[in-house]
Amino acid sequence: MLAAWWDELCAALGLGEVPIGRDALLALAGDAAHGVVRPAAPLTTFLAGYAAGLQGGGAEALEAVVTASREAIRGRAHDS
């Protein structure tokens, strides 16, 4: 079901091949949900995608923002 939704949404948004795997994005959402608070998951994934787009998109930009997002989540956990 989720794979079909991924494909359907990518098509609806006019995206070709997405340079990040669905599982990696779900893992980031899970990290945010458990490391911050549950509603942080969609906010984190949206902001990561937005930031990657502002950086020109592509695999390198996505990897950089996912890494930065995870570091921010870990930093928040250490501050608690």
Mean pLDDT of 7-21: 91
Q: What is the rounded CA–CA span in Å between residue 41 and residue 48?
A: 11
Tell me what the mean pLDDT of segment 17-30 comes to.
91
**Per-residue pLDDT tens digits for 52-73:** 999 999 999 999 999 999 999 9
Give this prediction's pTM. 0.86
pLDDT at 80 over 80: no
12 phi/psi in degrees, rounded to 5:
-65, -30
